[in-house]
Amino acid sequence: MHCLVTGTAGFIGFHLARRLLAQGHSVVGFDGMTDYYDPALKAARHAILAGFPGFTPVIARLEDMAALEAAAAPARPDVIIHLAAQAGVRYSIEHPRAYMESNLVGSFNVLELARQVRPRHLLLASTSSVYGGNESVPFIETERADWPITLYAATKKSMEAMAHSYAHLWDMPTTCFRFFTVYGPWGRPDMALFKFVAAMAADAPIEIYGEGAMKRDFTYVDDLVEAVMRLIDRPPVKGQPATVPNGADSLSPAAPWRVVNIAGGTSVGLLDFVAEIEAAMGRPAKKVMLPMQPGDVRETFADHHLLEALTGYVPATPISVGVPAFVSWYRDYYGV
């Protein structure tokens, strides 16, 4: 395949692009190299991808439509995978404009590009944060997700809605996948696992919000990549729903559009997660217990039946395997 992937210098985009390249596909990697976190980490990821002959990097912002068109023209992508975004729940409270520009304007440009290029499948990354104030767990794709509690979640839900309109207007097969707390080697420094390990390596305390009572459906990055790879070959077809045990296929009645949770369907307590970090680090953490922060939710918990029906696959790497893998990478990368 010829693939255009946005966000290849990012955590998930890097892992997905590496998998595509390793399987012999060509990848045009589009990334803005923003300074939201250490650009050196992004450059190190791209340097690894540059070792593959099928990789073509393009350094530009999503808001630059001309750059997107120029990147796609020679590539003639069969598949467009849009992963680039301004991420972070808490950051959106202090820097809302960055989310409007990247997640709305940038995603609109990707949709416009797809309308021009007409790939056989357009895939876009959304988030479990869109479930927001929904207190019914596990989160099922067919249930309402109309109460976002952060601007980050609101922009992602808006992207899903925009993508649906394009799928309808231009008969464009489109899958939006909702990620659940992805972690693993080469992760983002603003994520809890990275912050906890960095603090413990420096013998500093870790801050645990929600008094440790929060729970998350942690998804190991290799599992997520496997799920996305399988979804690439399963574009939605209008009028052809999947056979799901609970009958909950989010396939639109008006367009070849679908939203899919990518997670294992296991909700893990934050303190249990910290215990795995302590075991991998070989030392106890100095814990500072703090209340919930604005924008946080008490629990994320995915229903995985649609993903399994579509792909025959469910993420299953336990934190007892995934956390030590991250710690090993961290020690190697930072030499600690």
- Of 220, 222, 206, 190, give the one whose Cα is nearest residue 275: 206
Give φ, ψ of 177 to 5 degrees. -110, 140
C-alpha separations of 161 from 91, 149, 196, 255, 257 in Å: 23, 17, 35, 12, 10
Please give the structure tokens belonging to residue 316.
């299953």
- Of 214, 130, 135, 126, give the one whose Cα is nearest residue 174: 126
| DSSP characters over 99-161 | HIIIIIIIHHHHHHHHHHH--SEEEEEEEGGGGTT---SSB-TTS------SHHHHHHHHHHH
Please give the structure tokens belonging to residue 129.
């944060």
Q: Where are the alpha helices (DSSP H) in the chain?
A: 11-22, 39-49, 65-75, 91-94, 96-99, 107-117, 151-170, 192-201, 221-232, 270-281, 305-311, 319-334
| DSSP 8-state symbol, 210 | G
Active-site residue identified among 152, 166, 183, 220 = 152
Question: In angstroms, rounded to a whole number, what is the distance separating the alpha carbons of residues 3 and 328?
Answer: 31
36 included as an active-site residue: no
Give φ, ψ of 253 to 5 degrees. -75, -10
SS3 for 232?
helix
Would you tell me how many other CB atoms lie within 10 Å of the CB of residue 218? 29
Question: In angstroms, rounded to a whole number, what is the distance separating the alpha carbons of residues 112 and 33?
Answer: 22
Give φ, ψ of 53 to 5 degrees. -65, -20
Catalytically active residues, by annotation: 152
